[in-house]
Structure 1
C-alpha cells in the first residue's frame, strides 16, 4: 500500500510538471504573437512569426479545451458536451463490463489462454518438492481430528451408515458378482488365483504339523495290523507325493485338465449367477440375512471407532505413520505426473474444459460485477486515477497541438503571401 501511494505521488508530480510546461508553452505562444504583431511593420519575417504563434496558441487552446472537457467543465462553464466522463459514468461502466464479457471472456481467447498453462506440470513440480508435500500432508492431518469430531457430532455418521445400508439393500448381489467374476476371468486372472491356491496347498502338504495330523487320521482309519508295519507312513508318503506331483504338473501345464475343469466351473458359476432366478433369490436372502445381523452393525461401529481412534492418536504423534504415507504418496503422484506426458495431457485437457465451462457460466456475473464496481467508484477518484494513468500522454497532446497548429498557421500564411504576389 505504501509503495502504491509513493508511485501515485510520483505520477502526480510528473503530471503537474507536464501541465505546467504545456501551460507555459501556451502563454509563450500568446506572448510571442503579441510581440510579433507589434514588430510586424518593421520586417516581413515578423508576419510569419505572428502567424505561427497565433495558430500555435489556437491549437494549444483547442487541445486544452478537449482534454479538460473529458473530465470536467472548462473554467466551470456549463458548455454542452463537456465533463464527458462524469456525465457518462454509468454508461461507461456498463460498456466496460459488456466489453470485457464479450471480448476478454469469449470462449476462444479463454480456451487459448488456458491451453498455454501446463496445469499438470505445475502440480507435478509442486508435489515433487518433498517439503511442500510434507507441509500439505501435515495440513491435511491437522484437519483430521476436527473432521472426525464434526462427523460424530453432526449425525453425518448415522446418515452415511443409513445411506450405505440402503444402497447395499438395493444392490442385486448375483448380477454384481457375475460382473466381477467376468472381469476377473476376462484375461485369465482366475488362473492366477488357481496358481496361488495350488502353491498354498503345496505348502500345506510340506508342513510337519499337517503331515502329522494326516498320519494320525490314516492310522485311525487303518486296521491295527497295518499299523504294526507302519503302513500309515507309507500311505502318507504316497498320498503326499502323488498330490504334490499332481499340483506341480497343474502349475506347469497351462492346458492341464484341472485348469480346464476350473475354467468350466467358473464359467458355469457366472452363467448361473446371471440366469438362475433361484440362485439370485438365495443370494438376496443371504445378503438380507447378513445385513440384518446385529453383529454386522456392531462390526461396522467397531471398525469406525477403531479407525477414528487410530487417526486421532496418529495425527497427534510426532512420528505419524499417516503423515509419512501421505507425504510419500504425494511425492509419488508428483513423480508419476512428471514421468507420464499422456496423463499430464489428459489432466490439462480436463482442466481446460472445466475452467472454460466455468468461465462461460460465470462471465455474465463477472461483467456485471465490473460494471457495478465502476459505478460505485467516486467519480472524482475515478477521474483522478485516469489522469494519473494517462494524464501525461494527454498533456503531450497540447504540445503537439501547439506545434502542429503553429506549422499549419505558418503554411497558410506562406500560401497567403504567395497568392498575393501572383495577383
Structure 2
C-alpha cells in the first residue's frame, strides 16, 4: 500500500494540528505554573489567579488524558509498551476475524442482498449500454476478434471431433420423423406455405415466358398437330393461347389471397401432412435418409470443409478495420436493446433472473468473501495501515485534545468554585 498525494496532504495537515494541540497543552501548563507563582507575589489578585490556575491545571490534565487516549489507539505512548496500548496493531488478528464476520452478517446476509438487488433495474442498464452504438460496436469487435482464437482452441483440443461423434450418435438414436412432421405442420398452420406457392407461381411465370421453353413446347405441339393445321401455323396460335391463359391464371392467384387455387393448395398440404403423421413408411424413409447422411463420408468431408472455410472467413474478417461480422453483431445488439426497451415483461423477467442468480451467488460465496477479507486484513502491514488511518481520521481525533482541555478547564473552574464556597 502506498500513500497517495491526497493522503500525504492530510498527513501534513495532521502534523500541523498535532503541533498546535501540543503548543496549547504546553501553554496551559505554563499558565498554571505562572498563576500559582503569581498568587503568592500578588496577594490582591490571589482569588482571580486561583480561578486561572484551576482552569489551566484541569485543562492540562484533560489535554494529557486525551493525548494518551488518542495515541494508544495507534502506538505506544512515548515508545513505552504499556499494557492496552497500540490497540489497533496489537489486535490485528482479532480485527481481521471480526471484520470478516461483521461483513458476512451485516452486508452479505440474504435478506439485505436481495433487498438491495431488487432496487436495481438491470434490464435498464442493459438497454442503456447496448443502445449506445459505440459500446455495442466495441463489444462486437471484441467478440469477433475472440472467435478465431476460440475456434482454434476447439480445433487443437479435439473437441470438434468429439462433439461431431457425440452428436452423430445422438442423432442416430433420435427419431426425427415426428420432428419433421411437426415442422411441416407448423409450416402449414402458420400459412408459410403461401410463400412457397408464390415462389412456385413466379417460377412458372418465368418458365412460361422463357423463349427456349416456348420453342420446345411449340415444337412438341407441331408434332402432334395434323399437317394441314401446321401449314396454317396453328401451333403458334395455340402456344399464345396457352401462355395467355396460364399467365392470367397465375396473375389472378398471386394477386388474390383468397383465390380458390390457394385453398386447394392449402387443403393439399394439410392432407399430406396428416398422412405423414400416421405413415410408418414416411418414418422409415426419414430414418434411412438420416442414416445415409450421417454415414456418408462426403457429408463429413463437407462439414470439415465448411468448418475450415468458416474459420478462415472469420479470421480474415476479424483482421479488417471494420469487420463485417462486427457490424452485423452491432446491429443485432442495438436492435435487441430497442426490443428490450419496449418489452416490459421481458425486462421484468431479466431483473428477477438477475436478482435470483446474484442472490444465490452471494449466498454460496459469502463465507469465501468473509474468509478473503479476513486473510487480506491479516496480511496487511499494520504500521502502514495505521499511517493511512491517521491520515484520514487523525486530524479529527486531535480535536479531541482541544475539547479535553476546554472541558477539563471548565470542570476545574466549577470544582474550584465549589471548593471556595464550601470553605466560606
Query: Does the alignment pair 1:8 with 2:7?
Result: yes
Alignment-derived partner of residue 184 in structure 1: 187
Contact 1:250/1:259 (CA < 8 Å) preserved in 2? yes
Contact 2:29/2:60 (CA < 8 Å) preserved in 1? yes
Q: CA, structure 1 residues 272+81, in 2 after alignment: closer, same or farther (shift >3 Å)?
A: farther
Q: CA, structure 1 residues 315+24, in 2 after alignment: closer, same or farther (shift >3 Å)?
A: closer
Q: Distance in 2 between matches of 1:352 and 1:140?
A: 26
Aligned residue for 1:287, secondary structure, equals helix
Which of residues 116, 129, 133 is equivalent to 1:123? 129
Q: What are the equivalent positions in structure 2 for 1:52-201 lying under 5 Å apart?
A: 52-77=55-80, 79-105=82-108, 106-108=112-114, 110-111=116-117, 114-115=120-121, 118-124=124-130, 126=132, 128-129=133-134, 139-143=142-146, 145-201=148-204
Contact 1:205/1:211 (CA < 8 Å) preserved in 2? yes
Alignment-derived partner of residue 22 in structure 2: 23
Q: CA, structure 1 residues 360+210, in 2 after alignment: closer, same or farther (shift >3 Å)?
A: farther
Please state how far the C-alpha of 1:226 moved relative to its aligned partner.
4.1
Q: CA, structure 1 residues 300+351, in 2 after alignment: closer, same or farther (shift >3 Å)?
A: same
Q: What are the equivalent positions in structure 2 for 1:196-211 lying under 5 Å apart?
A: 196-211=199-214
Q: CA, structure 1 residues 351+121, in 2 after alignment: closer, same or farther (shift >3 Å)?
A: same
Q: What are the equivalent positions in structure 2 for 1:212-361 lying under 5 Å apart?
A: 212-316=215-319, 323-327=323-327, 329-331=329-331, 333-334=333-334, 337=337, 341-342=341-342, 346=347, 349=351, 351=354, 354-361=357-364
Please state how far the C-alpha of 1:372 moved relative to its aligned partner.
0.8
Q: Distance in 1 between matches of 2:118 and 2:389?
A: 31
Q: Distance in 2 between matches of 1:241 and 1:111?
A: 71
Gaps of 5+ in 2: none
Alignment-derived partner of residue 362 in structure 1: 365
Gaps of 5+ in 1: none
Q: CA, structure 1 residues 386+113, in 2 after alignment: closer, same or farther (shift >3 Å)?
A: farther
Q: CA, structure 1 residues 51+380, in 2 after alignment: closer, same or farther (shift >3 Å)?
A: same
Q: CA, structure 1 residues 257+62, in 2 after alignment: closer, same or farther (shift >3 Å)?
A: same
Q: Distance in 2 between matches of 1:266 and 1:316?
A: 48
Q: CA, structure 1 residues 343+315, in 2 after alignment: closer, same or farther (shift >3 Å)?
A: same
Q: Distance in 1 between matches of 2:166 and 2:120?
A: 39
Please state how far the C-alpha of 1:225 moved relative to its aligned partner.
4.7
* 1:261-287 Cα shifts (integer Å, max 9, x gaps): 222232233333433333222211221
Paired residues in the alignment total 414
User: TM-score of the superposition, structure 2-length normalised?
Assistant: 0.84
Q: Distance in 2 between matches of 1:331 and 1:287?
A: 37
Contact 2:72/2:87 (CA < 8 Å) preserved in 1? yes
Please state how far the C-alpha of 1:330 moved relative to its aligned partner.
0.9
Contact 2:32/2:53 (CA < 8 Å) preserved in 1? yes
Please state how far the C-alpha of 1:314 moved relative to its aligned partner.
4.2
Q: CA, structure 1 residues 154+236, in 2 after alignment: closer, same or farther (shift >3 Å)?
A: same
| Aligned residues: CA RMSD | 3.2
Q: CA, structure 1 residues 178+305, in 2 after alignment: closer, same or farther (shift >3 Å)?
A: same
User: TM-score of the superposition, structure 1-length normalised?
Assistant: 0.84
Contact 1:11/1:388 (CA < 8 Å) preserved in 2? yes
Contact 2:7/2:392 (CA < 8 Å) preserved in 1? no
Which of residues 383, 386, 391 is equivalent to 2:394? 391
Alignment-derived partner of residue 406 in structure 2: 403
Contact 1:115/1:352 (CA < 8 Å) preserved in 2? no
Contact 1:110/1:356 (CA < 8 Å) preserved in 2? no
Contact 1:101/1:364 (CA < 8 Å) preserved in 2? yes
Please state how far the C-alpha of 1:375 moved relative to its aligned partner.
0.8
